[in-house]
A and B are shown apart, each in its own frame.
Chain A
Amino acid sequence: MGSDPVLASLVTAAAAGDRSAWNAIVDRFARLVWAVARSFQLNAADAADVSQVTWLRLVEQLDRIREPDALGAWLATTARREALTLLRRRREVPVPDPDPTQSTGESPAPWQAMLIDERNRELWQAFHRLTERCQAVLRLLVIEPVGSYAAAAAALDLPVGSLGPTRARCLDALRQHLSGQAREGGVE
């Protein structure tokens, strides 16, 4: 990835106190930060906390950002660390989950209404048969426009070079689940 002059000037302007520049940074990376939190299977409330503390950390560090191009990776790393802290504390001091169906944020009802398209539903079911790791990898790699390998690698704590092969393996698994569904459905 080449350097991004727009991002660099947004960071400079935000560090100088420009709120609209800050909002533009948020709009650009909110999806990434959210996806990192979600990739740890956090529920919506925990993912919201992880997201918020990540952005507060960035506000605090704004005038120390030396490489704006690494901002996505910095946010991903920070969100990952906060998510892990939260997960570790949950293990030490479990908080009862008010609604177990919300544990991964995927209550079936809204999905059903949304996934009217048969093809979509098959893809969704196949996605959820993947390992958590593969779900996390694909979740992070599909994010645009900041779905850079650097940010995804930081979020997953993987070397950038291993992302390509990991992505290929997870896509293969996804295809296998899809064709498995096709076979199961094809006997009618």
Chain B
Amino acid sequence: MNPDQPERTAQELLTELRELLDRADPVPAAVVSAARDSFGWRDLDAQLARLVAEHTPAGAGVRGEPSRLLTYQAGDRILELEVSQAGQRLRIIGQLVPPQPARVRAQQPAGQVEVPADRLGRFAFPDLPPGPTRFAYQPLSPDGTAPAGTETQTEWVML
């Protein structure tokens, strides 16, 4: 630096730093378009289930042991999820309360996977990639053939 250069004021420093950071670490175009595309996941009809409890059980991180327990609630409906790490992938075991058959979808920005919940309300996603995820479920009649009640969606969560 030229010693004759006058010291920058706070505002000058901040302005230079901003220009530097804008060039050095711009928001990637893919991040902006993903943010714009998020709007496509708007769903006004489903009931929103909020995250009411989250636990990290003892033994988390040990191979095969669950690393996270998530509980969602919408009215008197509860959805419990047990997340385990399998290498770079995730295994999810879920339980609907009250128990009932349902169609359960794991939704991620890249797509969605649907699995059935049995008449005891149990379901599993054996192999999901980590990342932003929400779960949606449509309860079915006791024989599992017809929709019964409104669809419920969890809040988005980072799995």
Contacts and interface: CB of A to CB of B under 8 A. Distances in A.
B24 interface: yes
Contacts of A82: 158
B56 interface: yes
Which of B27, B48, B67 gathers the greatest number of chain A CB atoms within 10 Å? B27
A30 B18 CA distance: 15
Contact of B61 (A58, A62, A92): A92
State the main secondary structure of chain B at its contact with A: mixed
A142 B1 contact: no
A92 B23 contact: no
B21 A48 contact: no
A117 B21 CA distance: 14
B17 to A, nearest CB: 5
Nearest to B27: A34
A138 B24 contact: no
A135 B57 CA distance: 34
Interface residues of A, number: 65
B120 interface: no
Contact of A114 (B3, B24, B61): B24
Contacts of B39: 14, 19, 22-23, 59
B14 A142 contact: yes
B115 interface: no
Interface stretch (B30-38, B96-104, B140-148): B30-38
Contact of B20 (A34, A58, A124, A185): A124
Interface in A73-102: 82, 85-86, 89, 92-93, 95
Q: How large is the interface on B (under 10, 10 to 19, 20 to 34, 35 or more residues)?
A: 35 or more
A124 B18 CA distance: 11
Contacts of A181: 1
B31 A30 contact: yes
Contacts of A106: 24-25
A89 B67 contact: yes
Contact of B31 (A34, A120, A143): A34
A67 interface: no
B113 interface: no
Contacts of B132: 49, 52-53, 56
Top 8 A-B pairs, shortest CB-CB distance = A142-B18, A53-B132, A182-B1, A56-B156, A55-B35, A55-B38, A34-B27, A22-B39
23 contacts: A14-B39, A23-B36, A30-B35, A35-B21, A47-B31, A52-B31, A52-B34, A52-B38, A56-B109, A56-B134, A56-B156, A57-B155, A59-B39, A60-B42, A92-B60, A93-B60, A111-B24, A114-B23, A119-B1, A123-B20, A138-B17, A142-B18, A182-B1
Interface of B: 1, 3, 5, 7, 10, 13-18, 20-21, 23-25, 27-28, 30-32, 34-36, 38-39, 41-42, 44, 48, 56, 60-61, 67-68, 85, 88, 109, 131-132, 134, 155-158
